[in-house]
Chain A
């Protein structure tokens, strides 16, 4: 026999070359995932649109909610309290009550409207002026209008103030003019919780849709995966292109969702401004902030990665070379 060499060995690559190849492979996997997606533009586009719409719904809801909150911010500062006094209150006690109120830290300003002033302004503004002529006497009480200081003008704080002012003996009734604002805030709270639930549900939908898409991709490439396993590829090597596909789906869907929301906001902008103009307001809708967009894109990437990871780990196990 011919003299043989000591025998071949597995030639392992050293660490630094493995690291550089690792990065190179990641880039190559990313590119091949991208190419795989644009190779079937129609089905990719449809998947991205489904995912994008699923992400646009909670995002759009969030934007509308944010706009509603902004709308009320302008009103919060205008919270005023009206103290309706007993009709027999003497001018001296009104004077001393006003002095006392001015010293409170919750109060920034007080002003008094006598029954006559109230009647005059009612006659002017209500349009029922002539009806007043039939009344024997002025039915209106004296009113002290209280403007809360800035720390106490939120609906909640103002409500506490109302309770404490109600206890003043001369005051027949204390009323917060913006009582409805509290109710509106409570409704916004409900809407905010709803928006969170929507976000979670649609996020779950994105995970499931990506998972299913990746499952099909894995099954389509069953034979290829078997061969790659036979030459000694680890599962993490085989997973990588699928994970990048999931990331690309999630990111594209987020961008699509952003476009959908921006387009929709633009679309309803004009009618909203017309509506606001009828209320003498310059109000206009604001779109998604940079923070919102960054959050949307990172959620998209995260959800896409999660969906593809769950799916690929499960389905790769089922594929073993025969």
Chain B
């Protein structure tokens, strides 16, 4: 589902963020991506979501080689990927419902279908009662769950999460991780960047560890 082959990423300022990265995340697999800040976790996720392009090597998503993908095609690649951010990235002028509906609206889903799916996604993250509220009225953990509902509402085959529990207490963090586990059970491939090592250790999933832009360990 996500395949990296000898990927290098060097930024314009000469910083080499990723060096010779190769791994393959299978369909329906959940993996954690760990490492100190600056190890290259975010860069790796940005290559998948096409916010950055690799300097060398190939990234293949769902059978599509991103090296050959034109800028115009980027939106269609992103529709296959649900993205969850540490800072949530919600639209603060729109309600919870409208935030979650956004990925469906841009793909032209029928109106009734949107309502059904948005409520299903909000139900999944336990926020069904808050659909009419604005993100600012919610706690940090609730905002993050809105972000998660938005990421899964169009049932993408891939979900990426960048430090999803960065600002949350351990109780909320483990709730969110168990949500990921549930998505994985229905066949979604997930790649979760996190440095919450104790929580990762409890989960017993594949863990890819980065250091200075290279993979230093990859396994259970």
Chain A residues with a Cβ under 8 A of chain B: 2, 4-13, 17-18, 20-22, 24-25, 224, 226-235, 237, 320-322
Q: Are A22 and B108 in contact (CB under 8 A)?
A: yes
CB–CB B28/A7 < 8 A: yes
**B216 contacts the other chain (Cβ, under 8 Å)?**
no
B155, CB-defined interface residue at 8 Å: yes
Chain A positions within 8 Å of B108 at CB level: 13, 17-18, 21-22, 25
The number of residue pairs between A and B whose CB atoms lie closer than 8 Å in the complex comes to 93
Q: Are A320 and B91 in contact (CB under 8 A)?
A: no
| A10 with B154, Cβ < 8 A, contacts A232-B79, A321-B51 known | yes
**B residues apposed to A, CB below 8 Å:** 27-28, 49, 51, 72, 75-81, 83, 89-91, 93, 102-103, 105-111, 113, 150, 154-157, 185-189
CA A304 to CA B120, docked complex, whole Å:
41
Known: A227-B89, A227-B91, A231-B78. A21 touches B109 (CB 8 A): yes
A232 and B78 contacting across the interface, CB-CB below 8 Å: yes
Q: In angstroms, how far is the closest chain A Cβ from the Cβ of B219?
A: 16
Partner of A17, one of B106, B110, B150: B110
11 contacts between A and B (CB under 8 A): A7-B157, A7-B187, A8-B186, A17-B108, A21-B110, A25-B105, A227-B89, A228-B91, A228-B106, A230-B49, A231-B83
> Chain A contacts of B49 at CB under 8 A?
230
Q: Is the CB of B186 within 8 A of A5?
A: yes
Contacts of B72 in A (CB 8 A): 234
In addition to A8-B157, A230-B49, A232-B77, 5 A-B residue pairs with Cβ atoms within 8 Å of each other are A7-B188, A12-B107, A25-B105, A230-B83, A231-B106
Pairwise interchain contact A232-B76, C-beta atoms closer than 8 A: yes
Q: Are B150 and A231 in contact, with the CB atoms below 8 A?
A: yes
Q: Inside 8 A of A235's CB, which chain B residues have their CB?
A: 75
Shortest Cβ distance from A238 into B: residue: B106
Q: For B75, what are the chain A residues with a Cβ–Cβ distance below 8 Å?
A: 229, 232-235
Q: Is the CB of A232 within 8 A of B106?
A: yes
Q: From B156, which residue of chain A is reached at the shortest CB distance? A: A10
Say whether B188 contacts A8, CB under 8 Å: yes
Q: Chain A's interface: helix, strand, loop or mixed, by majority?
A: loop
Q: Which of A8, A17, A233 contacts B109 (CB 8 A)?
A: A17
Residues of B contacting A320 with CB < 8 Å? Answer: 51
- Assess the B106–A234 pair: CB atoms within 8 A: yes
Nearest CB in chain B to that of A7: its residue: B187
- Evaluate contact between A231 and B155: CB separation under 8 angstroms: no
Query: CB < 8 Å: which of A4, A13, A20, A224 contacts B107?
Result: A13
> Within the assembled complex, what's the spacing in Å between the Cα atoms of A67 and B90?
58
Asked if A233 and B106 sit within 8 Å, CB to CB, the answer is yes
| Cβ of A45 to closest chain B Cβ, rounded Å | 22
Chain A residues, Cβ within 8 Å of B102: 228, 231
Determine the distance from Cα of A6 to Cα of B77 in the docked complex, in whole angstroms: 20
- In the complex, residue of chain A having the shortest beta-carbon distance to the beta carbon of B151: A231
Known: A21-B109, A232-B106. A11 touches B154 (CB 8 A): yes
The 9 A-B residue pairs with the shortest CB-CB distance, nearest first, are A232-B79, A232-B78, A21-B108, A18-B108, A7-B187, A17-B110, A233-B106, A5-B187, A234-B75
B110 & A4 in contact (Cβ 8 Å cutoff): no
B196 to chain A, nearest CB (A): 23
Interchain nearest-CB distance for B42 vs A (Å): 10
B184: nearest chain-A partner, CB-CB: A4
Are A10 and B155 in contact, with the CB atoms below 8 A? yes
Residue of A nearest to B78 (CB): A232
